[in-house]
Amino acid sequence: MSALLEQARHRLTTGDYHKMGAAGVFRPTDRVELIEGEIIDMAPIGSAHAGVVGLLTNRLVPAVAGQAIVNVQNPVVLGEHSEPQPDLSVLKPRPDFYRNAHPTPVDIIFLIEVAETSIDFDREIKLPLYARHEVPEVWLVDLRQKALTIHRAPLEGVYRETLQPSDLTRVVPLKLPQAALDLSDLFRF
């Protein structure tokens, strides 16, 4: 039975997904992303989630000024069948600020996913997706457990290095060592 169900599926491409958006298939209020050819509803953004994304944005923008672009809840293209919308993307500078095309893995310095209710999805689906597409670094912020986990060194679809810093007064992105962040108040809410 499962082989039949797998056979009956039609995986959408990012091109299909964009055509659906242009045709008005999605309402302006729909929060969806394309993951491995399937349209996935995104969880509503709670106040704790929004506040932490705001705090991280506030810290990241000055820390990476002139060295990187910070995108908030904007798409990244991962191959032909996935276009997730991480909470924060720290990207290589580009003169067009990604107006002409969404960033791809070669553009990504690191991503941040903030999770309140979606931690299992982020860990089990999105993190392996990022690893398969060789996104060099992903930070998972688990609001329920009040934990930051940093994943680095993707190899064969798995992150080989996982860190959970206990001291958040100096958190350093691997490819932006000059952009050390004080996140000591990350979980104070």
Nearest Cα residue to 43 out of 9, 12, 73, 79: 73
Question: Does pLDDT of 3 surpass 60?
Answer: no
Question: Does pLDDT of 4 surpass 60?
Answer: no
Give the model confidence (pLDDT) of 76-128 as tens digits. Answer: 999 999 999 999 999 999 999 999 999 999 999 999 999 999 999 999 999 99
Alpha carbons 38 and 41: distance in angstroms, whole number: 10
Please state the rounded mean pLDDT for residues 18-40.
90
H or E segment and range at residue 152: strand 147-155
Average pLDDT of the chain, as a whole number = 93
φ, ψ for residue 174, nearest 5 deg: -55, -45
Share of the chain above pLDDT 90, in %: 86
Question: Does pLDDT of 6 surpass 90?
Answer: no
CATH number at 44-163: 3.90.1570.10
Burial class of residue 38 (count of CB atoms within 10 Å of its CB; 0-12, 13-18, 19+): middle
Render 13-51 in DSSP notation, one character per residue.
PHHHHHHHHHTT-S-TT--EEEETTEEEEPPP--HHHHH
Are the C-beta atoms of 139 and 148 separated by less than 8 Å? yes
Question: Does pLDDT of 9 surpass 80?
Answer: no
Alpha carbons 128 and 174: distance in angstroms, whole number: 19
Q: What are 79's two structure tokens?
A: 């191959």
What are the extents of the domains in the chain? 44-163
Question: Does pLDDT of 129 surpass 90?
Answer: yes
Q: What are 158's two structure tokens?
A: 């798995």
Q: How far is CA 46 from CA 41, 50, 145, in A?
A: 15, 6, 16
Share of the chain above pLDDT 70, in %: 96
Q: What pLDDT, on a 0 to 100 scale, did the predictor assign at position 49?
A: 96
Please state the rounded mean pLDDT for residues 4-11.
69
